[in-house]
Chains A and B, each alone.
Chain A
Amino acid sequence: MATSPLQLLHEAFPGRAKQIDQILGFMGKPWAATPPSLLINGNSSLGKTAVLKATLSAMLGGGSDSGSSSTHIQSEQQLQELRRRLPSRYAFLDCVECHTPRLIFEHAIYQLRNPPPSQDKGSIIFPSTHTPTAGMSEKKEATTVSRKRKRMTTSPLDWNRCENVNDFVEWCRKICDTKDELDEFHETHGNHRVVSGSISKHQNETRYLVLDRAERLRDTAPTLISVLMRLQELTGRNICVVLITTIVWEKFRSKTGGYEPIVLNFPQYTKSETVAILRKDLPAEEEEDLDLYMRFVDLVYDVFQRNCKDLNEIRHLVALLFPLYIKPVKEGKIQKHEGLKLHRHIQAYFVEAMDKLYLREISSTEWSDRTLSTASGSLSGGSGSTGGGAGGHVSAAPGGDRALTTALDVQNVFDLPYYTKFILIASFLASYNPPRLDMRYFAKVSSTGSKMTKRSKVAAAKKHGHDSMGSKLRQQLLGPKPFPIERMLAIFYSILDEEVEENVNVHTQIASLVSLRMLQRVTPMDKLDSIKCKCNVSYEMIKTLAKSTRFEIDKYLYDFS
């Protein structure tokens, strides 16, 4: 049976047939004029990257070497072979990686002067053998790119320097003008200019420059956007620029305007499309569970879709929870057809999954390993350990854009030396309480009795000064304020109802808290006096810590809830 590349593409991406056809329509014949620029937008994980990559690869990358080619006519086969061997007709760049104009230029030139990425790792192109631990394929890609980089340093002939737009435009002309066997192939096979009559001149094949995650361009190369949008006019060659992004074109538009791209939107998947995509995730060896799997997919979709529109996330959930769902069936505890029982069985897991939505604290394999090994299977019991185990992952929050240390090293906190814990508590108080109230809270008074009354006075005072809007400007919500170390130490000595031992060096302890990122120094390192710090620990954590030292922190906090 002959399966055309187009059919394969349609099958690989349920729900994207229309978009694929549109893209192919714009591409037209290999040498035809294309729109100067396209903008593909749509929310995250709607297949923008995957569809475009697969489409370009199938059409211009020589397709897959798979067996079905025997049905192709010979010239077709020859064409595919040429495509695999000759310089690529498209360059696919990620604007996160190519974060300067120069990187964009040089990567584009490199890719357009070398054969397209080989198809051996077909799984990248066609997601059928997709492993639900997302990021896998991306990682693979990253390694291929880094390999390329390495190659670039070893064989400098392949890598061309290109630092400015002027050179880039010249390069594009050069690349488009090199007539190679493919262009000759079209001529000799009469593929184009059918009745070429007196016209001997002809267009070489169109080149494509795809920029993924293009929203980054606005920060990394703002002036480049208008150049890219009319690269076709500027080079005078058949070259088509495609931007892939999650945002709307309005956000790219510059003040002076310029050429506007054709917008192609990838809409949200419908339920049946989502289900069809997930259907492909079931490993072939578990095909006998298909009925159960589909029922489960349906259930997950209904439960989660309202709160989770992200295909990858739903996919992750299915991969995570399906083993748990069929476990009792495998063990013979519940029969396949007892839908209600199964439903009840999985309900508890759903509740927890809901709490962890998007967090990816643990990978799916880790999750299933652990939960499956817990004989009881009660997830609420296991959630305590989740906190501990997850610690490492949370701290590795993406983008270096660390969130407050919440679950961060709960363990670490408990391992802190006794006095250090109090320094941390004092820092927290100093970060969140207004200094003017320090006297009231922390002035040392001989008898504990009168201390209490003072505090309750403060508590009463708290009630004042609250209006509807002011309550949103409480320090608790605004975040930690920097404080001078001296102030914190005053609080520290006050809350520590005992003498500090001689040999304890508070400054070393502060330094170690800073290195643990629980305190953050806001004054520059070379400044030695009047150092200021901020406490980077969450309320939840400080509460646990205070509890472990029997310190009633709530009594000392102003305006917390």
Chain B
Amino acid sequence: MSVEELVSLAKTAISARLAERSLPVALVGLEEQYKKVLGLMRRTIETGESNSCLILGPRGTGKTMLVRQALKDLERQFGTSYQDEYGEDEDDMDVDVVRKDFMVVHLNGLVQTDDRMALKEIMRQLSREGESELGNSNAQYPIIFILDEFDLFAQHTKQSLLYNLFDVAQSAEWPIAVIGLTCRMDALELLEKRVKSRFSHRHYYTFPPSDYHDYIDICKNALLLTPADLEIQTDVMMVGTDHRTAEAFMKEFNQRVKTLFEDGGFSKVVQRIFDLMKDVRAFYRLCFGPVAELSKESPYLRASQFYESGLQQRVDNKTELLKGTSLLELSLLIAIKHLVEREVTSFNFEMVYDEYKDFMDMAVVRGTMASSASSLGVGSGGSIASSDGVSLRLYKKAVALKAFEHLVEAELLRPADSFSKGPKEYRMMRVMLDASQISDVVLKHRDCPTIVARWAARRG
């Protein structure tokens, strides 16, 4: 196998993990919850016991992963026609298992936005599974219902889907397990009394890794290659050169990943993400770029790649976007700052322009006075040359209005009330930055004339 092919395989495998298309190699710190959820499902399948539970936890803490992993393991144990809705490659699935002992229905509150749709989807999934190999036995197949974004189902009228599912589960008419996943910790409170009373009240929590080492482990696992990633068959006795090059590549690659985590700069970036949000996905986002850059010329991950990608994902691009403001827009922002400082919190274009004009008038007066002493002249169109050789000019209202609209488009300004109509000059607006942020923009602005900067710094 050539390096190019190996890199391509490595990229595909890692990207799939980062995109959460494939499951991580290990669940870290969720062993307890995993065991509980697995046990609950297994009892439904093995003994026909019905059950319900909720898995609660912040975003990206492994709720969906947990359930997917459990289903995957059950499927290996019991065999099923269950097709992974997540489209993961089931490359290690035993082909000779044709028994089907349970069915799975996946619902997601984002997709099935009302009960009618949810029912339709349940029917679709059941009939698809039934079709495949139901045989003619009328045995009661256990069904496992997964309700992702559970809280959204509680918003459906009368919560009838939830009511019915919990009711079936409680009355043990048919062996089902109902497993809700949600990031809303108050999800239980959303349930109506009659629904709530039918729920088992079993619930499990997932948390972001509290320990930095756990966090690092999860991150590292995502980047480390496994033999399966490179399609190295471990069980077969293979001693071809392909096999050897692949193994050598994997060893080298993983060694580089380990060094990466020892790199000071890289650690700082990761530590920072951990301190700020403990979010695994935030680290994954950081990795997409560097992984995508792997090529046969540069087949291993390097720390320097992450510095830049860290910057790109981190800087709030607001400052980047503000770099694109023109001097006129900047002037209008300063005028707004002065208005806000005088507690005129909502304003319209005319007021801003008036403030801007006042400043320009003053600047022109000063400019003329200065020009009698020096050679700074007032330009024909009322433009004045300031000390740093930049000519300022009072823009016509129409031009300024365009600039003002640009600020609105950039959503630095928002309408003060949602339904004000009428000519746009008079529409009342609010500014989305505070005075200090505006001053900051002025400071960072590449070429702001001192006279304008001084105006910005002035108070009141």
Interface centre among A227, A307, A354, A520 (most CB of B within 10 A): A307
Closest to A224 in B: B110
- Is B399 interfacial (CB-CB < 8 Å)? yes
- Is B184 interfacial (CB-CB < 8 Å)? yes
Q: What is the bound-complex CA distance between A267 and B328, given in angstroms? A: 20
CB-contact partner of A354 in B86, B323, B342, B393, under 8 A: B393
- Give the distance to chain B from A212, nearest Cβ to Cβ, in Å: 15
User: Is the pair A250, B339 in contact by a Cβ cutoff of 8 Å?
Assistant: no
User: In A383-408, which residues have CB < 8 Å from any B CB?
Assistant: 394, 401-404, 406
- Is A73 interfacial (CB-CB < 8 Å)? no
Interface centre among B84, B113, B347, B423 (most CB of A within 10 A): B423
Closest to A264 in B: B312
- Is A260 interfacial (CB-CB < 8 Å)? yes
- Is B355 interfacial (CB-CB < 8 Å)? yes
Q: What is the bound-complex CA distance between A198 and B402, given in angstroms? A: 63
User: Is the pair B409, A246 in contact by a Cβ cutoff of 8 Å?
Assistant: yes
Q: Contacts A33-B21, A307-B327, A309-B324 known; A262 to B110 CB distance under 8 Å? A: no
Chain A residues with CB under 8 Å of B112's CB are 166
Q: What is the bound-complex CA distance between A235 and B121, given in angstroms? A: 13
Chain A residues with CB under 8 Å of B184's CB are 256
Partner-contacting stretch, out of B9-17, B30-38, B263-271: B9-17
Closest to A227 in B: B110
Q: What is the bound-complex CA distance between A265 and B339, given in angstroms? A: 32
Q: Contacts A166-B111, A201-B90 known; A404 to B425 CB distance under 8 Å? A: yes
> What total of chain A residues lie within 8 Å of the partner, measured CB to CB?
85
Q: What is the bound-complex CA distance between A502 and B288, given in angstroms? A: 81
- Give the distance to chain B from A308, nearest Cβ to Cβ, in Å: 6
User: Is the pair A165, B410 in contact by a Cβ cutoff of 8 Å?
Assistant: no
User: Is the pair B91, A199 in contact by a Cβ cutoff of 8 Å?
Assistant: yes
Q: Contacts A164-B113, A166-B121, A351-B381 known; A35 to B19 CB distance under 8 Å? A: yes
Q: What is the bound-complex CA distance between A536 and B425, given in angstroms? A: 11
- Is B87 interfacial (CB-CB < 8 Å)? yes
User: Is the pair A472, B339 in contact by a Cβ cutoff of 8 Å?
Assistant: yes
Chain A residues with CB under 8 Å of B1's CB are 194-195
Q: What is the bound-complex CA distance between A536 and B421, given in angstroms? A: 13
Q: Contacts A26-B292, A29-B8 known; A403 to B393 CB distance under 8 Å? A: no
Q: Contacts A32-B12, A33-B19 known; A164 to B117 CB distance under 8 Å? A: yes
Partner-contacting stretch, out of B134-142, B218-226, B313-321: B313-321
Chain A residues with CB under 8 Å of B21's CB are 33, 232, 238
- Is A237 interfacial (CB-CB < 8 Å)? yes
- Is A312 interfacial (CB-CB < 8 Å)? no
- Is A479 interfacial (CB-CB < 8 Å)? yes
- Give the distance to chain B from A479, nearest Cβ to Cβ, in Å: 3
Partner-contacting stretch, out of A1-9, A328-336, A356-364: A356-364
- Give the distance to chain A from B305, nearest Cβ to Cβ, in Å: 11
CB-contact partner of A36 in B12, B19, B320, under 8 A: B19
- Is A306 interfacial (CB-CB < 8 Å)? yes
- Give the distance to chain B from A147, nearest Cβ to Cβ, in Å: 29
Total cross-chain contacts (CB, 8 A): 214
- Is A259 interfacial (CB-CB < 8 Å)? yes
- Is B447 interfacial (CB-CB < 8 Å)? yes
User: Is the pair A42, B288 in contact by a Cβ cutoff of 8 Å?
Assistant: no
- Is A207 interfacial (CB-CB < 8 Å)? no
Q: What is the bound-complex CA distance between A308 and B91, given in angstroms? A: 57
- Is B85 interfacial (CB-CB < 8 Å)? yes
Contact with A along B316-343 (1 / 0, CB 8 A): 1110110111111000000000010011
Chain B residues with CB under 8 Å of A230's CB are 110
- Is B380 interfacial (CB-CB < 8 Å)? yes
CB-contact partner of A201 in B91, B399, B403, B409, under 8 A: B91
Chain B residues with CB under 8 Å of A165's CB are 110-111, 113
- Is A507 interfacial (CB-CB < 8 Å)? no
CB-contact partner of B425 in A25, A267, A403, under 8 A: A403
User: Is the pair A166, B113 in contact by a Cβ cutoff of 8 Å?
Assistant: yes
- Is A41 interfacial (CB-CB < 8 Å)? yes
Chain A residues with CB under 8 Å of B410's CB are 43, 246-247
- Is B64 interfacial (CB-CB < 8 Å)? yes
Q: What is the bound-complex CA distance between A520 and B231, given in angstroms? A: 74
- Is A257 interfacial (CB-CB < 8 Å)? yes
Chain A residues with CB under 8 Å of B397's CB are 406
User: Is the pair A469, B344 in contact by a Cβ cutoff of 8 Å?
Assistant: yes
Q: What is the bound-complex CA distance between A198 and B5, given in angstroms? A: 17
- Give the distance to chain A from B29, nearest Cβ to Cβ, in Å: 21
- Give the distance to chain B from A91, nearest Cβ to Cβ, in Å: 19
- Give the distance to chain B from A199, nearest Cβ to Cβ, in Å: 5
User: Is the pair B402, A358 in contact by a Cβ cutoff of 8 Å?
Assistant: yes
User: Is the pair A201, B113 in contact by a Cβ cutoff of 8 Å?
Assistant: no
Chain B residues with CB under 8 Å of A478's CB are 348, 350-351, 426
Q: Contacts A201-B91, A406-B398 known; A479 to B422 CB distance under 8 Å? A: yes
Q: What is the bound-complex CA distance between A258 and B279, given in angstroms? A: 12
- Is A226 interfacial (CB-CB < 8 Å)? yes
- Is B354 interfacial (CB-CB < 8 Å)? yes
Q: Contacts A248-B316, A351-B381 known; A33 to B354 CB distance under 8 Å? A: no
- Is B359 interfacial (CB-CB < 8 Å)? no
- Is B18 interfacial (CB-CB < 8 Å)? yes
Contact with B along A230-256 (1 / 0, CB 8 A): 101111111000000011111100001
User: Is the pair A250, B399 in contact by a Cβ cutoff of 8 Å?
Assistant: no
- Is A415 interfacial (CB-CB < 8 Å)? no
Chain B residues with CB under 8 Å of A223's CB are 110, 113
Chain B residues with CB under 8 Å of A88's CB are none
- Give the distance to chain A from B322, nearest Cβ to Cβ, in Å: 9
Q: What is the bound-complex CA distance between A258 and B148, given in angstroms? A: 12
- Give the distance to chain B from A5, nearest Cβ to Cβ, in Å: 17
Closest to B326 in A: A307
Closest to A193 in B: B231
Chain B residues with CB under 8 Å of A251's CB are 411
CB-contact partner of A477 in B59, B323, B350, B402, under 8 A: B350
User: Is the pair A358, B293 in contact by a Cβ cutoff of 8 Å?
Assistant: no
Chain A residues with CB under 8 Å of B381's CB are 351, 354-355
User: Is the pair B312, A234 in contact by a Cβ cutoff of 8 Å?
Assistant: no
User: Is the pair B326, A308 in contact by a Cβ cutoff of 8 Å?
Assistant: yes
Q: What is the bound-complex CA distance between A155 and B278, given in angstroms? A: 53
Closest 10 pairs between A and B when the two form their complex, measured CB to CB: A479-B426, A25-B292, A236-B87, A43-B324, A358-B402, A477-B350, A33-B16, A33-B15, A166-B117, A236-B86
23 contacts between A and B (CB under 8 A): A25-B292, A29-B11, A32-B15, A33-B16, A41-B317, A42-B321, A164-B117, A165-B110, A166-B113, A195-B5, A195-B242, A233-B64, A246-B410, A248-B321, A258-B59, A260-B285, A267-B323, A306-B326, A308-B326, A309-B325, A354-B381, A402-B423, A406-B398
